[in-house]
Structure 1
Amino acid sequence: MVKDEYTLVLVKPDGVKTRHIGDIISKIENKGYRIEALKMINPTKDKLRQHYFDKVDKPFFPELLNYMMEGPIVGIVVSGTNVVHAIHNMAGATNPGEAAWGTIRGDYGREWPDGVLRNIIHTSDNVENAKREIGIWFPEFKMA
């Protein structure tokens, strides 16, 4: 029997500001996945540096840091069979202007005149990163 996986979803500040938290949760639940943990988070620079550890030295990191601190985010732990891959696909292309309709970024994201890439949602891209990211944002969560 295949064991359920866990993945992390972060509704980014633009997703919170444009009131798409419920839409995103509905898409996840309508696919039959389970919400295991949910909380509103005011991200700190330290947590964001841990989360985006592989991007800290990139030239765009300061812009990413500022974007992710524009307001609160919503953290969600989701479980289900092959959920990491499925939710990552549901998110759509990184650039919301290129994301297909029907994906979260395609339906709720858009490009902005200031050029900052705001893309509504973060999803874990593999099982190892999901475990690491859940540990950062939900240290109290115990995976079965």
Structure 2
Amino acid sequence: MSLETTLILFKPDAVEKKIVGTVLSRFEQEGFRIRGLKVLALSDEILAEHYSHIADKPFFPSVREFMQEAPVVALALEGEDVIARVRDLLGPTDSTQAAAGTIRGDFGFKDGDAKMRNVCHASDSVEAAEAELKRFFNEGEVIA
């Protein structure tokens, strides 16, 4: 096992449904530690950077519009193998495929937006986590 820190973004659907605290509690119950937490309104620039892998796709404008519907909550979370464990807790990206008991299975949309309105984004690798934490947190905002 290795001690890691990951980025989680509570997406606008989680903020609008007022489930951020409920989902955060699930992470804490797993023994993970909060190392940074803040509320952000995402700019076009940060979204283009964060979603650079899809920024040229025809559906990107709808992703950008969704991610700007409401503020997001950025969370730096630390724990043993936190990256893989958080992704397991979340369940598949498509909420319609997520089992009951997973975060997306319990709280994600069950319609055509199930891949986008899926409660949280979570880093998928150590490298991604490092880049994403720097993107959403300034130096000194993630406490070791």
Change in CA separation of 1:51 and 1:143 when aligned onto 2, cut-off 3 Å: farther
What is the aligned partner in structure 1 of residue 44 from structure 2?
Answer: 45
Take 2:61 and 2:124, find their aligned partners in 1: how far apart are those partners? 22
* CA shift for structure 1 position 76: 0.2
Identity of aligned residues (%): 39
Instruction: Figure out how many residues of one structure are paired with residues of the other and give that number.
Output: 141
Q: Is the 8 A contact 1:8 1:78 kept in 2?
A: yes
What is the aligned partner in structure 2 of residue 111 from structure 1?
Answer: 110
TM-score by length of 1: 0.91
What is the aligned partner in structure 2 of residue 130 from structure 1?
Answer: 129
What is the aligned partner in structure 2 of residue 11 from structure 1?
Answer: 10
5+ unaligned residues in a row in structure 1: which ranges? none
The residue identity in structure 1 corresponding to 2:134 is: G
5+ unaligned residues in a row in structure 2: which ranges? none
* CA shift for structure 1 position 3: 4.5
* CA shift for structure 1 position 17: 0.4
Q: What SS is found at the alignment partner of 2:65?
A: helix
2:64 corresponds to 1:65: yes
* CA shift for structure 1 position 111: 2.8
Could you report, residue by residue, the CA deviation over 1:70-123 in whole angstroms, capped at 9, with x for unpaired residues? 1000000000111111111111111111111111111111234xx333111100
Change in CA separation of 1:31 and 1:142 when aligned onto 2, cut-off 3 Å: closer
Q: Is the 8 A contact 1:111 1:118 kept in 2?
A: no
Could you report, residue by residue, the CA deviation over 1:18-44 in whole angstroms, capped at 9, with x for unpaired residues? 011111110100000101000111111
Q: Is the 8 A contact 1:6 1:143 kept in 2?
A: no
What is the aligned partner in structure 2 of residue 95 from structure 1?
Answer: 94
Q: What SS is found at the alignment partner of 1:36?
A: strand
Take 1:78 and 1:142, find their aligned partners in 2: how far apart are those partners? 9
Take 1:18 and 1:43, find their aligned partners in 2: how far apart are those partners? 18
